Amino acid sequence: MTITAAADGSALGNPGPAGWAWYVNDDCWRAGGWPHGTNNQGELMAVLDLFRATAHLPGEDLHILCDSQYVINSITKWMPGWKRKGWRKADGKPVLNVELLKELDRELAGRKYRFEWVKGHAGHHLNEAADDRARAAATAYQQGVAARSGPGFPGAHHLSAPGARAGGASSAPVQPPAAPGEPDLFNQQELAQQNADQPSTSHQQQLPRQDQDQLDFAGQDFAQLDFAQLDDAAFDLAGATGQAQTAAPEALVEELERELLGPLVRGDIGRTAVLLHPDFLEIGSSGRVWTRDAMMMALEEDPGERTDIEILGADRVGPNAVLLTYRSFARSGTTLRSSLWVLDGDRWRLRFHQGTPEA
């Protein structure tokens, strides 16, 4: 059997808000993007995610339709020489987008594939469908709303979250698979179940495995959610607006963190849209990145249960920022956490979070 798919990327401004997508048919496609990236990064990421999406079918031939000569030549002509030279070009300069290319090099091993160049914007059905979805993802990031991630490939466990962010114009970082049991924000109940279900043999533990409820949105299509309507003024969350001038910031931030840990708030995508800063970012202990859009979609799908916490400190780290540190408790164990809240207009919003399992 041959899997035929088109892969495409888009960047508004190049660099600018960027998107990527691959497309097999209306029931089998996937898209994502970053707030800042290039067209070439989008093209590479589309191909990388396609290989990852079909990794569970290593015996199938992969026929990739691509309108980017840069991508095709990078993979089929230039990459062997770059590797021999330590990922440097003939002139000695570092190869651009090297992290994406290294990930692609790993995914290509043992796979059967061939590329076919197709002219872009020329009416080719598969190419146009991929282009439309990549451009829609870039537009979503430009507008600050959630991009549709698509249904994904049946049976796949994707390694790249649809909302992963690019670190800059020079390269778009690729997310490593989450370590089993890594405690990500708000997801302790799912993690406890994941730990309970984790295979015990050493061979299986080496497989890149994720909890689908946490990180794999491939099986979800959020077309029915109008994220464009998540305007801040539409969701005046009690305690989030107007109190910045009437309550001590440390006390207010602690109250808001506790609200955010409750399932009623987590399950309300409008309320989480108010509490999470538009540039919210979480970095897990494995290096996996969560964006605001990805987090909101995950929480709305499964808000979990209330998490008990022990506050360790609430410290002003600037006139408009409070660092909250605490210990959270779950069946899977305790986790030390830090949350950076910043004053955005007249609201305190969560800008950054990180959690580390306690020994």
How many Cα atoms within 13 Å fall on the side-chain side of residue 201?
3
Domain presence at residue 183: no
Q: Are residues 131 and 231 in the same domain?
A: no
Q: Are residues 218 and 340 in the same domain?
A: yes
157 is catalytic: no
Q: Are residues 266 and 336 in the same domain?
A: yes
pLDDT bin (cut points 50, 70, 90) of residue 298 is confident
- What 3-state class would DSSP assign to 317? strand
26 is catalytic: no
Q: Which long-range contacts (CB under 8 A, 24 or more apart) does 121-126 make?
A: 124/6, 124/65, 126/4, 126/5, 126/6, 126/23, 126/24, 126/65
The dihedral through the CA atoms of 258, 260, 261, 262 has a sign that is positive
Domain presence at residue 162: no
9 is catalytic: yes
Domain presence at residue 170: no
Domain presence at residue 164: no
pLDDT of 157 reads 60
How many domains, the chain?
2
Cα–Cα dist 270/260, whole Å? 12
Beta bridge partners of 21: 8, 31
Residue 88 is part of a domain; what is its CATH number? 3.30.420.10
Q: Which residue has the higher pLDDT, 233 or 269?
A: 269
How many Cα atoms within 13 Å fall on the side-chain side of residue 172?
33
Cα–Cα dist 12/341, whole Å? 30
Instruction: Say which of 9, 284, 304, 355 is annotated catalytic.
Output: 9
Q: Are residues 195 and 329 in the same domain?
A: yes
pLDDT of 284 reads 66
Q: Are residues 304 and 206 in the same domain?
A: yes
Q: Which residue segment(s) compose the domain that 90 sits in? A: 2-143
pLDDT of 197 reads 35
Domain presence at residue 284: yes
Instruction: Say which of 49, 67, 282, 293 is annotated catalytic.
Output: 67
Q: Are residues 217 and 79 in the same domain?
A: no
| Tokens 């539409």, located at residue | 234
Q: Are residues 208 and 287 in the same domain?
A: yes
Residue 329 is part of a domain; what is its CATH number? 3.10.450.50
> Residues 86-98: what's their mean pLDDT?
89
pLDDT of 153-181, one tens digit each?
A: 998 764 443 333 333 333 333 433 333 33
pLDDT of 239-266, one tens digit each?
A: 334 444 457 899 999 999 988 888 778 8
Q: Are residues 201 and 347 in the same domain?
A: yes
Token pair of 280, please?
A: 């919210």
* Domain-terminating residue out of 143, 160, 180: 143
pLDDT of 92 reads 87
pLDDT of 287 reads 63
Instruction: Say which of 121, 123, 203, 310 is annotated catalytic.
Output: 121
345 is catalytic: no
Q: Is the confidence at residue 9, as pLDDT, over 50?
A: yes
Domain presence at residue 88: yes
Q: Are residues 82 and 194 in the same domain?
A: no
pLDDT of 127-146, one tens digit each?
A: 999 999 999 999 988 888 77
Q: Is the confidence at residue 299, as pLDDT, over 90?
A: no
As a whole-number percent, the residues of the chain with pLDDT over 70 amount to 72
pLDDT of 31 reads 94
* Domain-terminating residue out of 143, 169, 196: 143
236 is catalytic: no
Domain presence at residue 61: yes
Q: Comparing 129-133, 147-151, 169-173, 352-356, which segment has the lowest mean pLDDT?
A: 169-173
Instruction: Say which of 49, 131, 190, 257 is annotated catalytic.
Output: 131
43 is catalytic: yes
Cβ neighbours of 2 (radius 10 Å): 10
Token pair of 155, please?
A: 């049976």
pLDDT of 169 reads 30
Q: Are residues 230 and 338 in the same domain?
A: yes
Domain presence at residue 181: no
* Domain-terminating residue out of 143, 175, 204: 143
Q: Is the confidence at residue 49, as pLDDT, over 90?
A: yes
Is the Cβ–Cβ distance between 197 and 214 less than 8 Å?
no
Q: Are residues 320 and 212 in the same domain?
A: yes
Crossing angle (nearest 10°) for helices 39-53 and 125-143: 110
